[in-house]
Chains A and B, each alone.
Chain A
Amino acid sequence: GAVVSQHPSRVICKSGTSVKIECRSLDFQATTMFWYRQFPKQSLMLMATSNEGSKATYEQGVEKDKFLINHASLTLSTLTVTSAHPEDSSFYICSARTSGLQYFGPGTRLTVL
């Protein structure tokens, strides 16, 4: 149980385009999901907390207009990287919270050319 999926697993895009990443809780409902960013050989940095039916809460230094988060249902949150640039290339990981624990997705590798 408590499986979280992400789609796509890898995406390559051109600079200036937008990319949408989906995070789904497959066998449970999650009112709260989290989005993290991980640079190579570094730790996970929390970007934002996504609450179903309300606006996401962004961490300090994260541009909310650049990283759009939508938590439209209890099983789906999306992260859209708008006008992506090479410095946005990273590994993005989501998690979904249930029963006091966060369960993590497998991550999405974004490469912006």
Chain B
Amino acid sequence: AQSVTQPDIHITVSEGASLELRCNYSYGATPYLFWYVQSPGQGLQLLLKYFSGDTLVQGIKGFEAEFKRSQSSFNLRKPSVHWSDAAEYFCAVGGQKSSGDKLTFGTGTRLAVRP
């Protein structure tokens, strides 16, 4: 069974500081991995995805993530956080035919940004 763990429930960083959100996954084969962002009361927006190839993937809004197979991790990073980045961030695994196209989400990390 596929699963995702986001160890940090809540993170606060100062505007302009760097950010890293952790994500660990469990999947029986090479995973498809995703990071989504959700603003309050809104749906999910895809930040970036990893299917194969280069393990460092670039996304929208200046985000990047690195797939590390040895650590079963897919951590999200941003070098300089903006106040508008305050939101809930979800890591997800799956989306392949072998899993019925299903995505499994982590519990999310709520990001607060200090002025």
Residues of A within 8 A of B (CB): 4, 6, 32, 34, 41-44, 46, 49, 57, 91, 93, 95, 97, 100-107, 109
Contacts and interface: CB of A to CB of B under 8 A. Distances in A.
A32 B103 CA distance: 13
A15 B46 CA distance: 35
Size bracket, chain B contacts: 20 to 34
B115 interface: no
A93 B106 contact: no
B95 A44 contact: no
B67 interface: no
A93 B108 CA distance: 16
Secondary structure at chain B's binding surface: helix, strand, loop or mixed?
loop
Contacts of B105: 43-44
Contacts of A32: 101
A106 B108 contact: no
Chain A interface main SS type: strand
Nearest to A42: B107
A93 B101 CA distance: 16
Nearest to A9: B41
B88 to A, nearest CB: 8
Given A43-B90, A43-B108, A102 B103 contact: yes
Contacts of A6: 43
B43 A104 contact: yes
A50 B113 CA distance: 38
21 contacts: A34-B101, A41-B110, A42-B107, A43-B105, A43-B106, A43-B108, A46-B102, A46-B103, A49-B101, A49-B102, A91-B41, A93-B43, A93-B44, A95-B44, A100-B95, A101-B49, A104-B43, A104-B44, A106-B42, A107-B43, A109-B41
